[in-house]
Amino acid sequence: MLDLRTIRDDADAIGERLGTKVADADVTGVLSADRQRRDLISEVETLKNQRNVASKELGRKKKNGEDTSGDQVTLRELGDRIKDLDQEVREVDVKLNDALLRLPNLPHASAPVGAGEEDNPVVRTYGSPPELDFEPKPHWDIGEALGILDFERAARMSGSGFAMLMGDGARLQRALIRFMLDVHTREHGYREVAPPYLVNDAAMTGTGQLPKMAEDMYRAEEDSLWLIPTAEVPVTNFYRDEVIEDSLPVYLTAHTPCFRREAGAAGRDTRGMIRVHQFEKVEMVKFADPRTSYQELETLVADAEDILQRLGLCYRVVELCTSDLSFAAAKCYDIELWAAGQERWLEVSSCSNFEDFQARRANIRYRDENGKTGFVHTLNGSGVALPRLIVAILENFQSADGSVVIPEAIRHYMDGQQRIG
């Protein structure tokens, strides 16, 4: 959530910056509701002062035995009007809060201005795409031939957009999860948490999924709970409505399933495991001092890159332009893996700094060295998402005989197995 005072003080500049991100940022609506609220409060305060004066006059007349019938009518009318205005203030408060919640975060000044993914500059590339001396296959052909991927049965039980890993495919995913969590907790300094997979409205609002992106989420209607679209939601809400007493930065990591309707992506990447409604992911979340949060963003990206480097995969880091940034992000890097079977880059991690946008929504504060409290900066990144990671392993490490070489970094998690075949 943006700071209302900042919007008031510099509305034109904020509107211009938000315009590079989204076309429908309603800064005018926020200012209108704010103005209406302040006018109502001013009127209420004026009437309360009048009531105080009238009340004292009533007391004086009673003391002197004078007629007070007119004063009692005046007081009653003032009380009724104040009551009505108080209700109007509450209604405008809801309207103002909703308008603020629908404003996206401001892009950081260093974020490149652009109209779409074609304007996202490549920051760096690691490794080279594999040079295969045969025609590489896409992962859906590889997985079905090896008996480790089953899309037909998954669709039969859940519909399109679901996949089922079997045998060595399931073992591969489990090995990758253990590997990533071990690296993040033992070497990168993260503390592992196992959060709930269902969260309430407040948690989803805190990280920015609600109210604007409700159609992309799954909801358990009877319980008013949401299936998490990413571990970012419960892990970021770890400190909701708290002042963090732990020394900053705080690093947390979690493995969870993720559930997404992908309502806004209908018809895209419908084959294989590129875009599915349920998937596994290891997430990294940071709570940082505002003065060092952009240094923390760079190390967050490096932590995700370290995983891919150890697996021997070719990837590139892309900086997102303003219009490609997520609703809550101020600055973001995407990490994309090369997939040889499709000859394309696949996003496997997004690493974002939200600055104090989420912290304001979730009321997460910290105490500085002088004891003064302020809103913390939150960051998160995939460390990394499993479906496209598995896709890249199957497609880049495939052999002419149809088998797939297991990356050396995870072989001991699979009892020394070197190949799926």
pLDDT, tens digit, for every residue of 327-358? 999 999 999 999 999 999 999 999 999 999 99
d(CA 348, CA 383): 9
Q: CA distances (Å), 113 to each of 23, 119, 121, 319, 323, in order?
A: 14, 8, 11, 11, 7
Give tens-digit pLDDT for 186-242: 999 999 999 999 999 999 999 999 999 999 999 998 889 999 999 999 999 999 999
CATH number for the domain harbouring residue 60: 1.10.287.40
pLDDT of residue 268: 63
- What domain range includes position 72? 4-101
Residue 233 lies in a domain: yes
The stretch 149-170 carries a mean pLDDT of 97
**CB neighbour list of residue 155: distance below 8 Å, 6 or more residues apart:** 162
pLDDT of residue 326: 97
Residue 209 lies in a domain: yes
Q: Is the pLDDT of residue 267 over 70?
A: no
Q: Are strands 278-288 and 250-259 parallel, antiparallel or unpaired?
A: antiparallel
Domain shared by 65 and 172, yes or no: no
d(CA 348, CA 185): 20
Of 68, 101, 134, the position where a domain reaches its end is 101
Q: CA distances (Å), 35 to each of 2, 93, 249, 280, in order?
A: 17, 11, 38, 46
The stretch 144-151 carries a mean pLDDT of 98
For 107, what's the count of Cα atoms within 13 Å in the CB-facing half-sphere? 26
Q: Are 36 and 44 in contact (CB under 8 A)?
A: no
pLDDT of residue 265: 58
pLDDT of residue 252: 98
Residue 79 lies in a domain: yes
Of 69, 101, 133, the position where a domain reaches its end is 101
The amino acid that residue 243 corresponds to is: V
d(CA 152, CA 325): 35
Q: Are 114 and 131 in contact (CB under 8 A)?
A: no
Domain shared by 133 and 64, yes or no: no
The stretch 386-393 carries a mean pLDDT of 98
Q: Is the pLDDT of residue 102 over 70?
A: yes
Domain shared by 63 and 160, yes or no: no
What is the DSSP-derived secondary structure letter of residue 196?
Answer: -
pLDDT of residue 222: 85
pLDDT of residue 266: 56
Domain shared by 161 and 14, yes or no: no
Domain shared by 85 and 188, yes or no: no
- pTM score above 0.85: yes
The encoded tokens of residue 173 equal: 């995913």
Q: Is the pLDDT of residue 264 over 70?
A: no
Among 119-128, 153-162, 189-198, 267-276, whose mean pLDDT is lowest? 267-276
Report the chain's mean pLDDT, rounded to a whole number.
Answer: 96
User: Residue written as tokens 């109210």?
Assistant: 211
Q: Are 112 and 119 in contact (CB under 8 A)?
A: yes
Residue 381 lies in a domain: yes
Residue 385 lies in a domain: yes
| Gap between the terminal Cα atoms of the chain | 51
Query: DSSP secondary structure string, 1-37?
Result: ---HHHHHHTHHHHHHHHHTT-S---HHHHHHHHHHH
Domain count, the chain: 2
Give tens-digit pLDDT for 316-325: 999 999 999 9
Give tens-digit pLDDT for 57-84: 999 999 999 998 898 999 999 999 999 9
pLDDT of residue 223: 86
Domain shared by 27 and 157, yes or no: no
d(CA 180, CA 306): 10
CATH number for the domain harbouring residue 165: 3.30.930.10
* Residues facing residue 282 across a β-bridge: 255
Residue 138 lies in a domain: yes
Residue 74 lies in a domain: yes
Domain shared by 178 and 285, yes or no: yes
pLDDT of residue 100: 97
Cα R_g (the chain), whole angstroms: 27
Q: Provide the pLDDT confidence category of residue 263 given band limits of 50, 70 and 90.
A: low
Q: Are strands 122-126 and 315-319 parallel, antiparallel or unpaired?
A: antiparallel
Residue 267, number of CB atoms within 10 A of its CB: 6
